[in-house]
Amino acid sequence: MNKIFLSPPHMSGNEQQYIAEVFESNYIAPVGTFVNRFEESIKSYTSIPYALALSSATAGLHLALRVLGVEKGDYVLASSFTFIGSVNAILYQQAQPIFVDSDSSWNISPKLLKEAIHRSPKKPKALIITHLYGQVAQLDEIIAICKEENIYLIEDAAESLGALFQEKQSGSFGDMSVYSFNGNKILTTSGGGMLVSHNKDWIEKAKFLSTQAKEDCLYYEHKEFGYNYRMSNVLAAIGVAQMEVLSQRVMKKREIFSMYQEEFAEFQEITFMPEIDQSKGNRWLTTMTLSHTSPLKIVEALKTYNIESRLLWKPMHMQPLFKNALSVVDGTSQKFFEQGICLPSGTKLMKKDISYICNAIKGVL
């Protein structure tokens, strides 16, 4: 049997046509019709009025922090249970991260968030909140805390495009937000990201910085430094095609999650990642924890069947890089890391593939 990957790209069919149009136009650089079309499609889908196509979601987080005035010596709150791309941008700005643990939702704990704010050496400027594995965090409580404390909210919606909270898209609640189009995401351009906001001035400033901070002159004039962060027209063409089937992809991801639930319904030691009230995740990856069996044992067993799986994210407060960072934790995300696994969730999977994967896991259980 061919290898079953964790979350491989799934092309919709129109990518080749749109790429051909890009090559015919000869606009293959970070400008062109498809960059504009991709931004417009994201704005239309999310109802967020301003968007900027970039080389990665991490670039988007970096720009967001700089636009919002985060500087050397500032403190930025962040989810500990996340991928390091969510927090690297804090280091780019020479700011200090403060990591906050999860609660039963798997996402950041509002209770611990309050504690982290009060324990910070000085008032944090921003919070980067990750919507983990495509499931939204408890946004109503978190937004209220950020407003009360006058802290900017940046949504890392890299994994959650298509997820909803109170019928609104993830990424539409923050001061600024990012989406990722990495090769394993629900929508992929092979690499890339999108920065979005309801604030036009912030997106225009981010665009200026993302194109080397060149002043509006006939010659190259620079009053501040910038970055080469824009997305190419070629990758944007792939994104336009992917956006045409995004709703179908979300539906299929949720079907895959349900099939796994059905397969393991009789196994009491298994707990799947929950959805909080008033939310609907995109189920980017199907993830679960086990109360008795080692997830590493399952990962190794699946390898013998040519099936790719992965342990859950190792929390940031446990990373050697951040050994001296302030963290407010209670052991929740560490427990998830030690007991959890990500299962293959590619949108080309069929029911027979899910059964094959589950039978391999049942052999271990």
Instruction: Report if residue 4 sits inside a domain.
Output: no
Same domain, 37 and 136: yes
Same domain, 105 and 216: yes
Read off the pLDDT of each residue in 137-152 and give the average, rounded to a whole number: 98
Mean confidence (pLDDT) of the chain:
97
Neighbours of 311 (CB within 10 A): 16
Provide the CA 201 distance to its chain's centre, in angstroms.
24
Instruction: Report if residue 168 sits inside a domain.
Output: yes
What pairing do the DSSP bridges indicate for beta strands 310-311 and 340-343?
Answer: antiparallel
Could you tell me the pLDDT band of residue 65, with boundaries at 50, 70 and 90?
A: very high
Percent of the chain at pLDDT > 90 equals 96
**What's the pLDDT tens digit per position in 14-25?**
999 999 999 999
Identify the DSSP state of 228. Answer: B
Could you tell me the pLDDT band of residue 1, with boundaries at 50, 70 and 90?
A: confident
Read off the pLDDT of each residue in 43-72 and give the average, rounded to a whole number: 98
Same domain, 175 and 260: no
Same domain, 239 and 250: no
Instruction: Report if residue 1 sits inside a domain.
Output: no
Same domain, 272 and 189: no
Out of 225, 243, 261, a domain closes at 243
Could you tell me the pLDDT band of residue 234, with boundaries at 50, 70 and 90?
A: very high
Same domain, 203 and 252: no
CATH number of domain containing 135: 3.40.640.10
pLDDT at site 148: 98
Same domain, 164 and 237: yes
Could you tell me the pLDDT band of residue 13, with boundaries at 50, 70 and 90?
A: confident
| Residue whose structure tokens are 């997820």 | 163
Out of 243, 277, 306, a domain closes at 243
pLDDT at site 31: 87
Read off the pLDDT of each residue in 123-145 and give the average, rounded to a whole number: 98
Q: Are the beta carbons of 214 and 222 closer than 8 angstroms? A: yes
Instruction: Report if residue 55 sits inside a domain.
Output: yes
Helix or strand or coil: residue 193? strand
Q: Does 50 have pLDDT greater than 90?
A: yes
Q: Output the CA torsion sign for 66, 72, 77, 78.
A: positive
For residue 219, the one-letter residue type is: Y
Domain that holds residue 290: 246-364
Instruction: Report if residue 5 sits inside a domain.
Output: no
Q: Does 149 have pLDDT greater than 90?
A: yes
Out of 174, 209, 243, a domain closes at 243
> In whole angstroms, what is the distance from residue 154 CA to residue 125 CA?
11
pLDDT at site 85: 94
Same domain, 94 and 205: yes
Read off the pLDDT of each residue in 313-327 and give the average, rounded to a whole number: 98
Helix or strand or coil: residue 151? coil
Identify the DSSP state of 133. Answer: G
HSE-CB at 306 with a 13 A cutoff on CA atoms is: 5
- First-to-last alpha carbon distance for the chain, in angstroms, is 22
Q: Are the beta carbons of 327 and 99 closer than 8 angstroms? A: yes
Same domain, 194 and 224: yes
CATH number of domain containing 259: 3.90.1150.10
Instruction: Report if residue 211 sits inside a domain.
Output: yes
pLDDT at site 29: 87
Instruction: Report if residue 105 sits inside a domain.
Output: yes
Same domain, 261 and 316: yes
Q: Are the beta carbons of 198 and 48 closer than 8 angstroms? A: yes
Alpha-carbon distances, residue 138 vs 135, 156, 173 (angstroms): 10, 14, 11
pLDDT at site 61: 98
Higher pLDDT, 216 or 81: 81
Q: Report how many domains make up the chain.
A: 2
Residue 341 main-chain phi, psi, to 5 deg? -145, 145
Same domain, 220 and 124: yes
Read off the tokens for 334. 């560490």
Instruction: Report if residue 10 sits inside a domain.
Output: no
Percent of the chain at pLDDT > 70 equals 100
pLDDT at site 208: 97
Same domain, 235 and 297: no
> In whole angstroms, what is the distance from residue 68 CA to residue 93 CA?
11
